[in-house]
Amino acid sequence: MGAQLRELRRRIRSTESMKKITKAQELIAASRIIKAQQRADAAKPYSQALVRALEAAAARSNLDHHLLEGTGTPVRSAMLVVTSDRGFAGAYSAGVIRQAEALTGLLHEQGQEVRPYVVGKKGVNWYRFRNREMYGEYVDFSGNPSYTDARRIADDLLEAINTPADEGGVDEIHVVSTHFKNMVSQEVRARRLFPIVVEDVPEPVHHVEAGAPAGADDASAAGGPTPTSPAEDETLPLYEFEPSAEEVLDALLPQYAGNLVYTTLLDAAASEWAARRRAMKSATDNAGEMQETLTRESNQARQAEITQEISEIVGGANALAAAGSE
């Protein structure tokens, strides 16, 4: 066999095995998307009840909580950047980082100092490579976040915002993450978590279920009651608070922060797997295409080899015949 043909066959084989790997990755990613979505659904009853309770408590207390209202001109912001731990996910992390850079620029223009808190190895490496200081690094869970992870991040962020700005604390908390719209489309979003505007409280939480058709209802299939979701114009019952509206609010806000971070992480995890599935699908397609091209080239090489051999034989026979007739 000719050297060229041998080389082509080897490349076809290696492309074949690459294709198998990316195909497997694609299937894994597809199943992980579903898992991440199920976990987001499971977290919904808590979010909804928490938001209702928070609304009730906020309506009754005097609202001068520093997590609800800003303190004049903010001088410093914390920015939570949610990237992935692993690659093979196309532009997933790059998109988030680009958005984070844009937000950083915007905040700098407003005269704010920005403190990055980074989730995911890709983001951490990006910041480290540029020698930028990070105030929090959270790795090894981006594809499958647990509530404990979210709690840890939320506690760090709350500690920063609970410290007065002149003692090195932050005034605002922003988050840059990817929102899972559907299987084919995810969107990088920059949002402000705190201080929150009370009227907008439901918005950041409900964004997770936007577009999902009332998926929370199937959870109560076991004969249990469906939680009555509050209608738009429903007035809240006049709650009795224990110990007091202010103390309830004080306790609920950190829980709310934990819940926000948790839903954000789950949303980002679903997006990450969707991005990975798409990247792996196009890698598989490309490998298939390459295989086809290489097969064609190798057929051509084989044919050329045969043609050459035939012409050599014919040439040799002719030469012998010519020598014999002399």
Partner 1 sequence: MAGELNVEVVAADRKVWSGVATLVVAKTTEGEIGIMAGHEPVLGLLATGVVTVRTTDGETVRAAVDRGFLSVSENHVAVLAEVAQLADEIDTASVESELAAAGDDQAAGRWAQARLQVAGAK
Give contact residues for partner 1 (rule: CB under 8 A): 39, 42-43, 45-46, 49-50, 52-53, 56-57, 146-147, 150-151, 219-220, 222-225, 227-228, 237-243, 247-248, 251-252, 255, 258-259, 262
- Closer to partner 1 by CB, 68 or 287: give it: 68
Q: What residue type is assigned to position 249 of the chain? A: L
Question: How far is residue 263 from each of residues 144, 188, 257, 276, 279, measured CA to CA in Å?
Answer: 12, 15, 10, 20, 24
- Closer to partner 1 by CB, 217 or 312: give it: 217
* CA angle 314–316–320, rounded 5-degree value: 115
Distance CA 292, CA 16 (A): 10
Smallest gap from Cβ 227 to partner 1, in A, equals: 6
- Closer to partner 1 by CB, 250 or 305: give it: 250
Smallest gap from Cβ 52 to partner 1, in A, equals: 7
- Closer to partner 1 by CB, 213 or 224: give it: 224
Smallest gap from Cβ 12 to partner 1, in A, equals: 47
Query: Which distant-in-sequence residues (6+ apart) come within 8 Å of 4 by Cβ?
Result: 301
Distance CA 18, CA 194 (A): 46
For residue 29, give the nearest of 291, 324, 279, 292 by alpha carbon.
279
- Closer to partner 1 by CB, 135 or 147: give it: 147
Distance CA 194, CA 268 (A): 19
Smallest gap from Cβ 247 to partner 1, in A, equals: 7
- Closer to partner 1 by CB, 217 or 285: give it: 217
Smallest gap from Cβ 231 to partner 1, in A, equals: 13
150, two tokens: 């979210």
Which residue is associated with the tokens 């105030």?
A: 135
Which residue is associated with the tokens 């608070």?
A: 241
Smallest gap from Cβ 119 to partner 1, in A, equals: 17
Distance CA 69, CA 75 (A): 15
Smallest gap from Cβ 248 to partner 1, in A, equals: 6
* CA angle 250–137–110, rounded 5-degree value: 70
End-to-end CA distance of the chain: 36
- Closer to partner 1 by CB, 111 or 243: give it: 243
